[in-house]
Amino acid sequence: MTEQPLKVWHDRDGALLRLRLARPKANIVDAAMIAAIDQALADHLDDRRLIAVLIDHEGPHFSFGASVQEHMPGQFEAMLRGFQAMVLRLVAAPVPVLVAVRGQCLGGGMEVAIAGNLIFAAPDAQFGQPEIQLGVFAPPASCILPERMPRGAAEALLFSGRSIGAEEAHRLGLVHAITPEPEVAALAWFDERLAPLSPSSLRFAVKAARFEYVERVRAKAAALETLYLNELMSSHDAVEGLTAFLEKRPAKWETGAP
């Protein structure tokens, strides 16, 4: 029997939905993980008892990112559409989404994390969107990062593919708190700040706070999906970069702009 990529359960008498990435150490965000997260959200977000969601992970790392193999020709269309739909469901969640991060939080894994509301990070956490180093770009992060941190800092990450530590991520506003025990801290924040509130009124507050943001991300995500599918993946360098990564060799880029 295949082990499930995601553990799903309720905590705090049904008020907290727990989602745990459960394929350590990499916790790759592949088609199975994407489908599992999306299904859990679809099944439970409309539960009127629900006050918040907490996403965390097994193992020392949140996620090394998406499956590079699933980005290859013949697979990337379904992968991207499914991933974007799941991320947008997180962005538009009617309750706060808390995220607890240790270790590496990269690529598609980082996009899951930043689609939530508050990130509680361990001191060893590292955040990065390395897609450009493989010759592609990160559609959800391109929509979300400039909304969550200063545009110049967001673009520096998206253009270079470099990673930043928890301290820098906190300074830039991406991380809510740095703590040795991010899951414990997230649970404490839920207990102290959210549990006493009206579940109904909290949903109105979340909708009010994120209304225009959600609409902007949806519109940009649709445009970037077209750019990725119809233009980027028709280029030599996108396929070459992904192929070179899988073959463990340096990429041979074309010279000049498309």
d(Cα 80, Cα 226) in Å, to the nearest integer?
10
Mean pLDDT of 91-120: 98
**Mean of pLDDT values over 29-36:** 97
pLDDT in tens, 185-230: 999 999 999 999 999 999 999 999 999 999 999 999 999 999 999 9
pLDDT above 70 (res 2): no
Predicted pLDDT at 178: 98
With bands split at pLDDT 50, 70 and 90, how would you rate the model's confidence at 245? Answer: very high
As a whole number, the mean pLDDT across the chain is 96
Distance CA 29, CA 38 (A): 12
* pLDDT tens readout for residues 132-182: 999 999 999 999 999 999 999 999 999 999 999 999 999 999 999 999 999
CA 150 to mean position of chain CA atoms = 18
The residue-averaged pLDDT of 34-53 equals: 97
256 pLDDT more than 80? no
Asked if residue 252 has a cis previous peptide bond (ω within 30° of 0), the answer is no
Which domains occur in the chain, in start order? 6-181 (3.90.226.10)
What is the model's pTM? 0.97
How far is it, in rounded angstroms, from Cα 16 to Cα 31? Answer: 25
The pLDDT value recorded for residue 255 is 73
Burial 105-135 (b: 16+ CB within 10 A, else e): bbbbbbbbbbbbbbbbbbeebbbbbbbbebb
- Residue 17: helix, strand or coil by DSSP? strand
Q: What percent of the chain has pLDDT over 90?
A: 96
Residue 3 reports pLDDT greater than 90: no
CA distance 94 to 189: 18
The pair of three-digit structure tokens given for residue 228, joined into one six-digit string: 């990725």
pLDDT of residue 257: 62
- Average pLDDT, integer, range 10-33: 97
Residue 120's contacts (CB-CB under 8 Å, 6 or more residues apart) are 98, 99, 100, 101, 175, 176, 177, 179, 182, 183, 185, 186, 189
Q: For residues 30 and 68, is the Cβ–Cβ distance under 8 A?
A: no
Tokens 């899988």 -> residue: 246
- Specify the pLDDT at position 108: 98
Q: How is residue 60 annotated by DSSP?
A: S
Please determine, for residue 89, whether its predicted confidence score (pLDDT) is greater than 60: yes
Confidence band (pLDDT; 50, 70, 90) for 27? very high
